[in-house]
């Protein structure tokens, strides 16, 4: 027999969204995760953000697993997270890391909360009596909190903690805490844990307006706030009330609001010569929201330098912000803010539109504060004993944003890579999980086997009889206001209830034994458990029930105190108890009519199809193959490499795509797990996750093959865009950046004698007619080419005419480098585009210089056009073949632009790289890794477990009208034309119930959410308390 391998465990340090995502992805594969966070709770910055662009609302829950929902929480992520394979350890800091890759010992300091969450009854009487009030940091001081407090208002369970710096040790809280959960003398605790791999997802410190010198000219009043604080001002759990955004200083409505960009970023003088990447979108979103939430009359103005709307959909968002919402954008970095005697805030700026100075008063100024990475990176470098690179950041391997250089088993994700937006945080989290998975499979670590839920037994299908078990907290009977005897009697009389047991402390060991004892003798086939914090105990209690012989789908746990307390002031014990009984009855009803469920498994064909043999496609293929997954790599051209791999020798950040592609090709061909199909296109696909069948057609021979695979990745890439503008093609002095790049590399283009070289950015891009998006790489390409020209001919003057320089993140240093090298950047606006005219065989470019406000005429020896990136034309065919969507620009439309950037709506299909949107090479590789991980999560086993709660078809009732097929948002329902029936893909189905409503006679139904159950719950809710119980 094979030796039992240890279960792979990964420490994810930092429970912001990227860390959470990495943890969930690993847990889905079956690895154990220890998810720690230095703060008292999880969620990171996003816990503070109620609104995220582009929908301007939340959607965080969409990062929960789609398949295997059984094993994780199914509720708002801002409440909390649960997954069977994830251990969450908040308020813990890593003190030391010993050992090496595959064998780490990590010392963790668990900080004392002083409130034991296992004992806390969440009644908050302690908070009521606490005499200490301090500013609530969660709301950036806009509100107050007590010394004993709940850090994040939405969290469930509440996880109270005591702020010992504020606490006066008066002991009032201890006096009122009936469960004895508070221990003022609690000590920090050191624990050591063994893990195989570590993912750092701590994020970085953010610039704050009180700490830094350069903010002092701006932060002159409480009404000058950071962008994060502004989020809290707009939040219902922050200071937003009554539809008005209020000034912190006096609570007056803020009507005129200004945003000042780049606060703390793009500042060489303050040694922060980088862009924080997300602040532009952040400000645009806030400006739009302010107008929407603040009511009529709110004016939003953003002072910016370059509006960096480089990501997918960002440009449209910007255009909408300006055109639909009327947000003012003013390109001017202001010197400071002055507080007027009336409290208003004065800003003087130079308006480039009118070319005049303007002095204007604002009610509120928001500083778009960015990242402060160095401190955090240094901390990690010291802890992990790794070196920082020349920029002072943790060094990752070439081409990787995730793998720490020279440290196998150590990965980073999220804002440690530089501030990331939600989408990138997700991609990086998945990619980091992927790298860790690769590492773990490499060392042979095992995964957790999911326990299957058995088919229901005959006993479970019998007429339902409910056993109600009520957990009582030790000695403190009645202390929480529940009269157990009354409750028990009330429920005992209820129809369908077989027995009611009050059991002491089921959450503890002896309670467990007692429960097991009682329940294993029961005649009932359903169990309803009332406990104080079901979120915390649910799993334990369900395990007890399982041991006692209950089918776990027929066991429900309810929050005994929560339901009675919800939103109500505390009535008398009797009233409360009766109300609780009343609420419980609804739960009984629902359980009574619930059928026994089981988790179906889905057979998996463990082969992957990767479409596109560019760098992204090859990366995905290699990554999957490395984990033993057979991959078919399909490329429509006669060679691998894609656009970058066949055309681009070097990038501005020192990468060599052509050399890299060559190297990858070699690896691809050598890998026995990879089959390459050249000159081949995928033309049609049927099936679902685990069992797709695709038709592959060879273009040269017209030969067709049918490939069975379990998942597919679209990595179709893109290519340099085309344009009819500026006489491209009419003169050999006019060319694209790609042509120049090639020409410079080959020597075909000689810049030796050139005096003036003009580059025009955004040709045909970022405008409604044409590419309505930023191609993200053109600025870097232009800079790389310009630097090359300067290298060859230092006397040549290179002019780059731009709209916004999109050197986001640490690419900013290349912009700086380019300026230092003497490259001249001149801004133009879309409504005043440069004009070109050939004079004596030479292009002459005319444009309006926004700085000098003068028409400039530039004779150019070379005119170079940045024509952006176009999606592959084959995308539309593929989209049809795979029944996935394209966006208006011809790129693939991911399932969710923020939370599911790598997936298609249809499970089992993924996308990576430029197929998603134009992006730099390192991001392509990261997405390719992420896509491979998404596929691997399901391809790693012969079958996957889906979920017990799933939509079903009652075939005998079904008339095949297919309305359910049409309405399903996940494409989980399909009409089988051969069998003439409706099929449900159990992996794709998310049990939203839309099919069930659409189906008029309940031929479609979600198990566990049947109309029968819901209708009886409505009854229970509406019946007067006493009437519910038959009179004896």
Partner 1 sequence: MELCLFLGCNTPAIRPDVERAIRASMPVLGIDLVDADNYVCCPAFGAFPSTDTDSWLATSGWNLSIAEQKGCDIVVQCGSCYSSLRMGREHIMHHPDKKDRVNELLEPTGRRVEGTSKVRHVSEVLYKEIGPETIAGQIKKSLKGMNGVVQYPCHTLFPSEVVGFEDSARAPKGMRQLVEALGANVNSYSRELQCCGGAGGFMKSTPEQAIEFAKSKFDAILAETQTDFIAVSCITCLMHMENVQNTLNKRVGEERYKIPVFDYNQLLALCLGFEAKQVASITNVSRDSVLSRIA
Partner 2 sequence: MDLKGSIPDLWKAIYNTGDLHHCFNCSTCISGCPASFGDPPLLVRNLARKVILGLEEELLNDDTPWACVSCSKCEEMCPMDVKPFEMILSIRQWQSANDETRVPPSIVEIYKRGYTQAVGVNTELRDSLGLPELMTITKNPEQLQMFREMLMKTPVVSANDYMFGG
Partner 3 sequence: MSEFEPKIVAFFCNWCTFTAADLAGTSRLSYPPNIKIIRVMCSGMVDPKFVLKAFLNGADGVLVGGCWPGDCHYINGNFKARRRVALLTEVLKQYGIDEQRFWLRWIAASEGNMLKEVADLMTAKLKELGPSPLQQMGQMVG
Which of partner 1, partner 3, partner 2, none is residue 341 near (CB under 5 to 8 Å by kind)?
partner 1
Strands 854-859 and 842-849: antiparallel
905 binds partner 3 (CB under 8 A): yes
1009 binds partner 3 (CB under 8 A): yes
Which of partner 3, partner 1, partner 2, none is residue 357 near (CB under 5 to 8 Å by kind)?
partner 2
Where would I find the beta strands (DSSP E) of 752-809? 756-760, 797-802
Q: Residue 1005's closest CA among 949, 960, 963, 966? A: 949
Write down the least CB distance from residue 262 to partner 1, Å. Answer: 17
Write down the least CB distance from residue 367 to partner 1, Å. Answer: 14
Of 942 and 1021, nearer to partner 3 (C-beta) is 1021
- DSSP-based three-state secondary structure for 762: coil
Which of partner 3, partner 2, partner 1, none is residue 395 near (CB under 5 to 8 Å by kind)?
none
- DSSP-based three-state secondary structure for 201: coil
Which of partner 3, partner 2, partner 1, none is residue 340 near (CB under 5 to 8 Å by kind)?
partner 1
Which of the residues 241 through 280 are near partner 2 (CB under 8 A)?
262, 266-270
Strand partners, 865: 736, 760
78 binds partner 3 (CB under 8 A): yes
Give the C-alpha separation, 188 to 229, whole Å.
Answer: 30
* Binding pattern for the stretch 383-402 against partner 1, x by CB under 8 A and - elsewhere: --------------------
Structural contact between residues 708 and 907, judged by C-beta atoms closer than 8 angstroms: no
Which of partner 1, partner 2, partner 3, none is residue 795 near (CB under 5 to 8 Å by kind)?
partner 2
Which of the residues 19 through 58 are near partner 3 (CB under 8 A)?
50, 54-58
- Phi and psi, residue 547, nearest 5°: -60, -35
339 binds partner 1 (CB under 8 A): yes
Give the C-alpha separation, 427 to 912, whole Å.
Answer: 10
Which of partner 1, partner 3, partner 2, none is residue 730 near (CB under 5 to 8 Å by kind)?
none
Of 210 and 236, nearer to partner 1 (C-beta) is 210
Stretch that binds partner 2, among 223-231, 325-333, 507-515, 775-783 (CB under 8 A): 325-333
Own/partner contacts of 151-156, CB < 8 Å, gap of 24 or more, are 151/39, 151/40, 151/41, 152/41, 152/43, 152/47, 152/78, 153/237, 154/47, 154/76, 154/78, 154/79, 154/237, 155/41, 155/78, 155/79, 155/80, 156/79, 156/80, 156/535
* Binding pattern for the stretch 779-808 against partner 2, x by CB under 8 A and - elsewhere: ----------------x-x-------x---
Which of the residues 558 through 587 are near partner 3 (CB under 8 A)?
562, 565-569, 579, 586
Structural contact between residues 535 and 443, judged by C-beta atoms closer than 8 angstroms: no
Write down the least CB distance from residue 201 to partner 1, Å. Answer: 35
Of 162 and 215, nearer to partner 1 (C-beta) is 215
- Using CB under 8 A, pick the residue from 822, 830, 966, 969 that binds partner 2: 822
Q: Token digits for 656?
A: 């060599």
Q: Token digits for 900?
A: 């599911």
Q: Token digits for 575?
A: 């009233």
Give the C-alpha separation, 954 to 964, whole Å.
Answer: 13
DSSP state of 902: S
- Using CB under 8 A, pick the residue from 195, 366, 622, 858 that binds partner 2: 858
- DSSP-based three-state secondary structure for 1001: coil
DSSP state of 595: P
- Using CB under 8 A, pick the residue from 336, 343, 687, 770 that binds partner 2: 336
* Binding pattern for the stretch 210-229 against partner 1, x by CB under 8 A and - elsewhere: ---xx-xx------------
Which of the residues 944 through 1003 are near partner 3 (CB under 8 A)?
967, 969-970, 990-994, 996-997
780 binds partner 3 (CB under 8 A): no
Structural contact between residues 412 and 394, judged by C-beta atoms closer than 8 angstroms: yes
- DSSP-based three-state secondary structure for 11: strand
- Residue 701 burial by Cβ neighbours in a 10 Å radius (0-12, 13-18, 19+): exposed
Stretch that binds partner 3, among 3-11, 342-350, 633-641, 1004-1012 (CB under 8 A): 1004-1012
Residues 6+ apart with CB under 8 A from 269: 214
Structural contact between residues 29 and 937, judged by C-beta atoms closer than 8 angstroms: yes
* Binding pattern for the stretch 872-901 against partner 3, x by CB under 8 A and - elsewhere: ------------------------x-----
- Using CB under 8 A, pick the residue from 338, 384, 465, 745 that binds partner 1: 338
- Phi and psi, residue 863, nearest 5°: -115, 120
Stretch that binds partner 2, among 488-496, 578-586, 844-852, 995-1003 (CB under 8 A): 844-852
Q: Token digits for 238?
A: 């922050």
Residue with tokens 């139904």: 1005
336 binds partner 1 (CB under 8 A): yes
- Using CB under 8 A, pick the residue from 104, 138, 317, 349 that binds partner 2: 349
Q: Residue 485's closest CA among 470, 505, 467? A: 470
Q: Token digits for 485?
A: 């005897």
- Using CB under 8 A, pick the residue from 323, 755, 837, 955 that binds partner 2: 755
Of 266 and 291, nearer to partner 3 (C-beta) is 291
Give the C-alpha separation, 62 to 72, whole Å.
Answer: 13
Structural contact between residues 856 and 826, judged by C-beta atoms closer than 8 angstroms: yes
Q: Token digits for 907?
A: 């499970």
Write down the least CB distance from residue 336 to partner 1, Å. Answer: 8
Write down the least CB distance from residue 55 to partner 3, Å. Answer: 3
Which of the residues 824 through 853 are near partner 1 (CB under 8 A)?
none
- Using CB under 8 A, pick the residue from 324, 495, 699, 1021 that binds partner 3: 1021
Strands 497-504 and 466-472: parallel
Of 154 and 348, nearer to partner 2 (C-beta) is 348
Of 334 and 489, nearer to partner 2 (C-beta) is 334
- Phi and psi, residue 447, nearest 5°: -115, 165
CA distances, 69 to each of 73, 212, 635, 902, 933 (Å): 7, 45, 35, 19, 18
Residues 6+ apart with CB under 8 A from 222: 247, 248, 249
Alpha helices in 569-656 (DSSP H): 573-592, 615-626, 642-647
Of 215 and 578, nearer to partner 3 (C-beta) is 578
Q: Token digits for 555?
A: 């066991």
Cis amide prior to 157 (ω within 30 degrees): yes
Which of partner 1, partner 2, partner 3, none is residue 825 near (CB under 5 to 8 Å by kind)?
partner 2
Write down the least CB distance from residue 836 to partner 2, Å. Answer: 15
**Residues at the interface with partner 1 (CB under 8 A):** 213-214, 216-217, 336, 338-341, 346
**Residues at the interface with partner 3 (CB under 8 A):** 50, 54-59, 61-62, 74-76, 78-79, 122, 124, 150, 153-154, 156, 158, 235-237, 241, 562, 565-569, 579, 586, 896, 905, 967, 969-970, 990-994, 996-997, 1006, 1009, 1011, 1014-1015, 1017-1019, 1021-1022
């Amino acid at each position: 027999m094979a030796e039992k391998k240890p279960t792979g465990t990964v420490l994810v340090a930092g429970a912001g969204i990227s860390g959470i995502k990495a943890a969930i992805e690993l847990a889905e594969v079956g690895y154990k995760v220890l998810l720690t966070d230095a703060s008292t709770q999880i969620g990171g910055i996003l816990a503070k953000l109620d609104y995220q662009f582009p929908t301007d609302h939340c959607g965080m829950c969409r990062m929960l697993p789609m398949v295997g929902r059984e094993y994780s929480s199914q509720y708002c992520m801002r409440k909390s997270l649960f997954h069977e394979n994830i251990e969450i350890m908040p308020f813990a800091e890593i003190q030391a890391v010993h050992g090496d890759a595959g064998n780490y010992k990590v010392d963790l300091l668990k900080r004392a909360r002083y409130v034991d969450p296992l004992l806390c009854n969440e009644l908050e009487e302690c908070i009521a009596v606490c005499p200490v009030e301090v500013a609530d940091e969660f709301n950036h001081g806009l509100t107050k909190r007590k010394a004993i407090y709940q850090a994040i208002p939405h969290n469930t369970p509440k996880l109270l903690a005591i702020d010992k710096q504020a606490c006066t040790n008066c002991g009032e809280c201890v006096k009122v805490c009936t469960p004895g959960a508070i221990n003022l003398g609690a000590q920090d605790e050191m624990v050591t844990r063994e893990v195989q791999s570590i993912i750092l997802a701590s994020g970085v410190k953010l610039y704050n307006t009180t700490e830094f010198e350069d903010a002092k000219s701006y932060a002159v009043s409480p009404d000058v706030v950071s962008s994060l604080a502004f989020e809290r001002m707009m939040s219902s759990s922050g200071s937003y009330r009554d539809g008005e955004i209020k000034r912190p200083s006096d609570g007056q409505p803020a009507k005129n609001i200004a945003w000042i960009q780049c606060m703390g970023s793009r500042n060489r003088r303050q040694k922060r010569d980088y862009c924080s990447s997300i602040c532009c979108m952040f400000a645009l979103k806030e400006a739009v929201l302010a107008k929407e939430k603040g009511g009529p009359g709110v004016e939003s103005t953003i002072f910016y330098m370059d509006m960096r709307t480089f990501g997918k959909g960002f440009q449209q968002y910007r255009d909408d912000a300006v055109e639909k919402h009327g947000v003012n954008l003013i390109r001017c970095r202001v010197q400071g803010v002055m507080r007027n005697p009336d409290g208003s805030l004065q800003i003087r700026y130079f308006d480039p539109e009118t070319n005049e100075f303007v002095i204007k008063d604002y009610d509120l100024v928001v500083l778009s504060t960015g990242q402060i990475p160095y401190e955090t990176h240094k901390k990690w470098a010291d802890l992990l004993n790794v070196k920082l690179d020349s920029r002072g950041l943790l060094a990752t391997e070439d081409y990787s944003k995730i793998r720490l250089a020279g440290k196998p088993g150590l990965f980073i994700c999220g804002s440690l890579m530089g501030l990331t937006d939600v989408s990138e945080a997700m991609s990086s989290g998945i990619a980091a999980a992927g790298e860790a998975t690769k590492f773990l499979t490499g060392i042979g670590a095992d995964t957790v086997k999911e326990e299957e839920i058995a088919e229901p037994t005959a006993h479970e299908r019998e007429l339902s009889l409910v056993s109600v078990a009520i957990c009582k907290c030790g000695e403190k009977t009645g202390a929480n206001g529940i009269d157990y005897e009354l409750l028990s009697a009330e429920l005992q009389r209820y129809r369908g209830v077989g027995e009611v047991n009050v059991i002491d402390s089921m959450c503890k060991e002896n309670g467990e034994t007692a429960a097991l004892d009682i329940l294993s003798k029961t005649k009932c086939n359903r169990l309803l458990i009332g406990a104080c914090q079901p979120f915390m105990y649910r799993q334990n209690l369900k395990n007890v029930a399982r041991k006692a012989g209950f089918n776990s789908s027929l066991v429900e746990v309810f929050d005994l105190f929560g339901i009675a307390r919800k939103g109500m002031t505390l009535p008398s014990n009797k009233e409360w108890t009766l109300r609780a009984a009343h609420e419980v009855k609804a739960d009984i009803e629902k359980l009574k009519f619930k059928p026994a469920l089981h988790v179906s498994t889905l057979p998996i064909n463990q082969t992957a199809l990767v479409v596109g043999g560019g760098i992204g496609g090859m990366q995905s293929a290699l990554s999957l193959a490395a984990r033993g997954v057979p991959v078919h790599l399909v490329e429509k051209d006669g060679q691998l490499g894609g656009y970058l791999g066949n055309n681009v020798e070097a990038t501005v950040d020192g990468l060599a795509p052509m050399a890299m592609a060559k190297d990858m090709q070699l690896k691809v061909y050598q890998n026995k797990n990879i089959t390459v199909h050249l000159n081949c296109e995928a033309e049609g696909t049927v099936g679902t996750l685990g069992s797709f069948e695709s038709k592959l057609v060879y273009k040269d021979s017209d030969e067709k093959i049918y490939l069975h695979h379990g998942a597919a990745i679209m990595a179709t890439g893109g290519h340099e865009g085309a344009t009819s503008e500026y006489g491209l093609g009419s003169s050999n002095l006019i060319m694209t950046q790609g042509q120049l790049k090639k020409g410079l590399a080959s020597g075909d283009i000689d810049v030796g004698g050139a005096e003036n070289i003009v580059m025009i950015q955004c040709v045909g891009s970022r405008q409604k007619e044409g590419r309505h998006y930023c191609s993200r790489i053109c600025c870097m390409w232009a800079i790389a080419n310009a630097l090359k020209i300067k290298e060859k001919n230092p006397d040549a003057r290179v002019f780059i005419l731009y709209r916004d320089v999109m050197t986001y993140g640490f690419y900013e240093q290349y912009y700086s480098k380019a300026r230092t090298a003497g490259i001249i950047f001149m801004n133009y606006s879309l409504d005043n585009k440069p004009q070109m005219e050939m004079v004596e065989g030479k292009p002459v470019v005319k444009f309006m210089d926004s700085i000098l406000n003068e028409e400039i005429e530039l004779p150019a020896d070379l005119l170079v056009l940045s024509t952006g990136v176009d999606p592959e034309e084959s995308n539309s065919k593929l989209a049809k073949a795979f029944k996935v969507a394209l966006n208006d620009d011809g790129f693939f439309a991911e399932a969710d632009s923020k939370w599911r950037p790598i997936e298609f709506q249809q499970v089992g299909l993924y996308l990576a790289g430029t197929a998603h949107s134009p992006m730099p090479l390192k991001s392509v590789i990261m997405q390719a890794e992420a896509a491979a991980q998404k596929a691997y999560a399901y391809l790693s086993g012969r079958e996957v477990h889906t979920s017990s709660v799933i939509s079903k078809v009652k075939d005998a009732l079904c008339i095949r009208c297919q309305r359910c097929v049409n309405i399903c948002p996940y494409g989980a329902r399909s009409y089988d034309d051969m069998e003439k029936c409706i099929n449900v893909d159990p992996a794709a189905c998310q049990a939203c119930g839309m099919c069930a409503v659409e189906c008029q006679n309940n031929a479609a139904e979600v198990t566990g959410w049947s109309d029968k159950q819901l209708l009886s719950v409505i009854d229970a809710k509406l019946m007067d308390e006493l009437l519910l119980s038959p009179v004896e």
